[in-house]
Amino acid sequence: METRFKSIGIAGSGFYVPKKVLTNFDLEKIVDTTDNWIRTRTGVRERRIADDNEATSDLAVKAARKALEDARISPQEINLIIVATLSPDYLFPSTACLVQDKLGIKDAWAFDIEAACSAFIYALSVAEAFIKSDTCKTALVIGAEVFSRIVNWKDRNTCVLMGDGAGAVVLREVENGKGILSTHLGADGSRAHLLKQPAGGSRLPATEETVRQGLHYFKMQGNEVFKLAVRIMSESVITALKKGSLSNKDIDLIIPHQANIRILNAMAKKLSLPMEKFMVNLDKYGNTTAASIPIALDEASKQGRIKEGDIVVLVAFGAGLTWGATVIRW
Ligand code: ACO
C-alpha cells in the first residue's frame, strides 16, 4: 500500500475582540494599582471585555467567520471543529457544538479542548493528526475566552492581567514541505495547584458558601508561574525545532502566549534572539488565555510580518501545567 506524507497547514485565520476597552487607568479606579505598575511589571496597557450579552461562543463564531473568509472556503467544507477554551459558555454542551450550530455547519463533529493557555497548540496538534490520518479533511481550530467572567475584580494580583477575545484558523492539507513541521507538547499535573479555579467542578461544587468565599474565581501563584513559564517555553521552542531538524537561528518569527512582556524578554535572552523576532500584542489585549496565540498569529499575518517560506514558532504555557510549541513553515 502506498503511504503518502501529507503536509498540514493554516489556510486562513481571523480574530475578534470585544469593543469595550478597559485601560489601566480604568483599573486604578477599581483596585489598588497604578498604570505604571501594570505597564512596567506586565507590559499590558489595556484589554477588551465582553458585553454582558456576549459569551465565548459568540466571540468564537465572529473569529471563525473571518478565518473562513480568509481561507476562501464555505462553512460546509469544515468537518471538524475544535474550540480551545477554559471559559466555555457551559460546562456542557461544548462550545464547539454551539459554534457548529451558529455557523450552520451540518456535517462536522465538534468538541472542546481544555489545556488553559496551551489549549490552542494542543488543539492544532489534534486537528493535524486527524487530517493526516484522513479522519477529516478541513478543520476549524478556535481559541476563545471570556475570561473576565472568572476573574476576581477585587484581586489586583490577577485582574490586571487578563482580557477577552477569540482567534481562529482553518487547517487543511497544504503544499508539500509547508505547514506544521513539528510539535512538542507537555504537561505536569504535580503543579496543578499553581493556577486553578477551585470551585464549580465535582471536587467542590458551587454553593452559596463557595461563591461567598470567591472560590469560583481564577487563583494564581504568579511569581512561581513566571519562572516556570520562562524556562519551559524556551525549552519547548528548542525541542520542537530539534524535532524539525532546525535551530533557533532558523526562526523568522516567534508567536508566544501573551502573558507578560518580562517573560518574553527573558525568553529572548535565553534563546539568544532579538525582541524583533517576537510578535507582541499583549499591550492591547492582555492575556487572552487560549485565544492569545491565534489572535497574535492573525495580527502578525495581516501586518505582513510573515512571508511565504518563513519559519514561525508558536509557543505557550499555562495551567495544568501544560505547555507546547509548534514549528510552521509558512
Ligand atoms: N498593582 C500594584 N501592586 C501589585 C499588583 C498590582 N496590580 N499586583 C501585585 N502587586 C504587588 C504585590 O502585592 C507585591 O507586593 P508586596 O511586595 O508588598 O507583597 C508586589 O506587587 C510584587 O508582587 P509579585 O507577585 O512578586 O509581582 P511579580 O513581579 O511576580 O508580577 C505577575 C506578578 C505579573 C502576576 C507575574 O508574576 C506574572 O506575570 N506571572 C506569570 C503569569 C502567567 O504567565 N500566567 C500563565 C497563564 S494564565 C493561565 O494559564 C490561566
Query: What CATH number corresponds to the domain at position 113?
Result: 3.40.47.10
| CA–centroid distance, residue 157 to ligand 1 (Å) | 5
Is 155 found in the same domain as 52? yes
pLDDT over 90 (residue 112): yes
Structural domain includes residue 39: yes
Long-range pairs, 97-100, Cβ under 8 A, ≥24: 98/57, 99/57, 99/60, 99/61, 99/64, 99/140, 99/142
What is the model's pLDDT at position 254?
A: 98
* Number of domain units in the chain: 2
pLDDT over 70 (residue 3): no
Distance CA 208, CA 243 (A): 50
- Is 177 within 8 Å of 9 (Cβ atoms)? no
What is the model's pLDDT at position 5?
A: 79
Question: Nearest to residue 168, comparing CAs of 287, 302, 59?
Answer: 59
Q: Which domain holds residue 12?
A: 7-177
What is the model's pLDDT at position 116?
A: 97
Domain closes at, from 177, 197, 225:
177
Which atom in ligand 1 lies closest to the alpha carbon of residue 116? Answer: 50
pLDDT over 60 (residue 2): no
pLDDT single digits (tens) 31-78:
999 999 999 999 999 999 999 999 999 999 999 999 999 999 999 999
Structural domain includes residue 41: yes
Domain closes at, from 142, 177, 212:
177
Is 187 found in the same domain as 130? no
pLDDT over 80 (residue 129): yes
Is 171 found in the same domain as 203? no
- At how many degrees (to 10) do helices 261-270 and 35-42 cross? 20
Q: Whose CA is nearest to atom 9 of ligand 1?
A: 157
Residue 239, number of CB atoms within 10 A of its CB: 15
Is 77 found in the same domain as 140? yes
Residue 184, number of CB atoms within 10 A of its CB: 22
Domain closes at, from 123, 156, 177:
177
Is 269 found in the same domain as 213? yes
Which atom in ligand 1 lies closest to the alpha carbon of residue 162? Answer: 48
With the most atoms of ligand 1 within 8 angstroms of its CB, the residue from 40, 41, 85 to mutate is: 41
pLDDT over 90 (residue 1): no
Question: Nearest to residue 286, comparing CAs of 4, 45, 3, 112?
Answer: 45
Q: Which residues form the catalytic set?
A: 117, 257, 287
Structural domain includes residue 1: no
Which atom in ligand 1 lies closest to the alpha carbon of residue 259? Answer: 44
| Residue for grid cell 513539528 | 182
Instruction: Enumerate residues lining ligand 1, CB below 6 A.
Output: 33, 37-38, 41-42, 116-117, 156-157, 160, 195, 222-223, 225-226, 229, 259-260, 263, 287, 289, 318-319
- What's the mean pLDDT when you consider all of the chain? 96
Structural domain includes residue 2: no
Distance CA 313, CA 279 (A): 10
Distance CA 301, CA 215 (A): 39
